[in-house]
């Protein structure tokens, strides 16, 4: 049996040959992704000319989530309705095997994404309903904005403007509040992230729910900016707890619990004594769906602290060395 099922794709082709999204060969990635949000670390270096600083941390600096598989022609916003639904057997089998694969090989972002999609239907429906009951969320569902290169380009333009304003300020002690866009561009620049490279949706046939999942994935970096959490194992786990409180996605729960096994004793102490209480408190104080019902693309020139206050996001506690 082991010789016949030596790969995730091979397993799916043999057991579940009827579903087209289970037939492509996955691309191995290099970024740990045990139940994490998929993202591309080895991004194209388009905006890194000013990135010369490296952060030193005494705790785990390996990012928690992995790179996505290459974009698939099987899915885009116009064709998602043609993705056939998984049968109950396919769904259960995909969940079991994807979970085992992700635990055994943290770089398998395709398996991580599969777990999130086959377990998230109920939570995604609730997230959609919350957005439909919110004026801004409803408009997001109708207009379906995406986080792409144009968003990043605009963010970097605003970062340049911010830097010029600081440079032109004669009083070095003057307060120069940073905009959400400038903070977002700084995050992308510091970590060499490309906002366009994301895992395609493969197992969500409903186009509206597929977009909600896509939006959740694409807004993940926005959440990092709002909370001030770095894309490290510890930072990702803290953010996953907040996302769990806000979305109810099983993937967030699996990430928050299973990922803690990768921490050392001191990091686990920080997670449970510092970040976990913060995430639960902030998540409960925020209105339901608050993170998803923000048209971030229209908030680029908003001061970061003003946006945080409006949404109800309190920055994560600062821990020396993290």
- Would you kindly state where each structural domain of the chain is located, as residue ranges? 30-40+56-311
> Which two structure tokens, joined as six digits, stand for 28?
């191995």
Of 105 and 184, more confident: 184
What band does 169 get if pLDDT is binned at 50, 70 and 90? low
Report the pLDDT value the prediction gives residue 306, as an integer from 0 to 100. Answer: 96
pLDDT over 70 at 21, yes or no? no
Report the pLDDT value the prediction gives residue 109, as an integer from 0 to 100. Answer: 67
Q: Are 180 and 310 in contact (CB under 8 A)?
A: no
Q: What is the CA radius of gyration of the chain?
A: 20
Proportion of the chain above pLDDT 70, given as a percent: 66
Q: Which of 25-29, 30-34, 255-259, 309-313 has the highest mean pLDDT?
A: 309-313
Q: Are 66 and 37 in contact (CB under 8 A)?
A: no
CA–CA separation, 105 vs 93, rounded Å? 18
Kindly report the average pLDDT of the chain as a whole number: 75
Provide the sign of the torsion angle of the four alpha carbons 191, 249, 120, 109, taken in this order. Answer: positive
Q: Indicate the SS3 state at residue 279.
A: helix
Helices (H), 57-171: 88-104, 109-119, 121-132, 135-143, 149-168
78-95 pLDDT tens trace: 434 445 677 667 667 777
Q: What would the mean pLDDT of 140-152 be, rounded to a whole number? A: 94
Q: What would the mean pLDDT of 158-185 be, rounded to a whole number? A: 81
Residue 179: phi and psi, rounded to 5, are: -80, 165
134 annotated among ligand-binding-site residues? no
DSSP state for residue 179 in the 8-state scheme: B
* Entry pTM: 0.72
236 annotated among ligand-binding-site residues? yes
314 annotated among ligand-binding-site residues? no
User: How many Cβ atoms from other residues are within 10 Å of residue 165's Cβ?
Assistant: 12
67 annotated among ligand-binding-site residues? no
pLDDT over 60 at 20, yes or no? no
Proportion of the chain above pLDDT 90, given as a percent: 43
CA–CA separation, 33 vs 67, rounded Å? 8
Report the pLDDT value the prediction gives residue 91, as an integer from 0 to 100. Answer: 67
> Which two structure tokens, joined as six digits, stand for 123?
């939570």
pLDDT over 80 at 295, yes or no? yes
């Amino acid at each position: 049996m082991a010789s016949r099922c030596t790969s995730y794709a091979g397993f799916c082709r043999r057991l579940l040959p009827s579903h087209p999204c289970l037939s492509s060969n996955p691309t191995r990635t290099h970024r740990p992704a045990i139940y994490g949000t998929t993202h591309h670390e080895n991004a194209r270096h388009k905006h890194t000319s000013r990135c010369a600083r490296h952060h030193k941390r005494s705790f785990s600096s390996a990012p928690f989530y992995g790179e996505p598989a290459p974009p698939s022609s099987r899915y885009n916003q116009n064709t998602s309705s043609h993705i056939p639904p998984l049968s109950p057997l396919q769904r259960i089998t995909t969940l079991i095997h994807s979970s085992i694969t992700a635990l055994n090989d943290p770089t398998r972002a395709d398996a991580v994404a599969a777990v999130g999609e086959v377990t998230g239907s109920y939570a995604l429906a609730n997230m959609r309903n919350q957005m439909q009951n919110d004026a801004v969320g409803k408009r997001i569902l109708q207009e379906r904005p995406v986080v792409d290169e144009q968003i990043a380009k605009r963010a970097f333009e605003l970062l340049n403007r911010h830097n010029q304003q600081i440079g032109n300020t004669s009083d070095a002690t003057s307060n120069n509040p940073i905009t959400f866009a400038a903070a977002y561009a700084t995050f992308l620049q510091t970590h060499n992230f490309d906002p366009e490279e994301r895992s395609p949706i493969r197992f969500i046939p409903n186009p509206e729910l597929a977009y909600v999942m896509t939006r959740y994935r694409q807004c993940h970096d926005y959440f990092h900016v709002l909370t001030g959490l770095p894309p490290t194992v510890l930072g990702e786990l803290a953010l996953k707890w907040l996302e769990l409180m806000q979305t109810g996605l099983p993937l967030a729960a699996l990430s928050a619990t299973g990922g803690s096994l990768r921490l050392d004793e001191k990091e686990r102490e920080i997670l449970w004594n510092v970040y976990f209480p913060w995430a639960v408190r902030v998540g409960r104080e925020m209105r339901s769906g608050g993170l998803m019902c923000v048209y971030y693309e229209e908030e680029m020139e908003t001061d970061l602290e003003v946006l945080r206050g409006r949404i109800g996001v309190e920055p994560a506690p600062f821990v020396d060395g993290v």
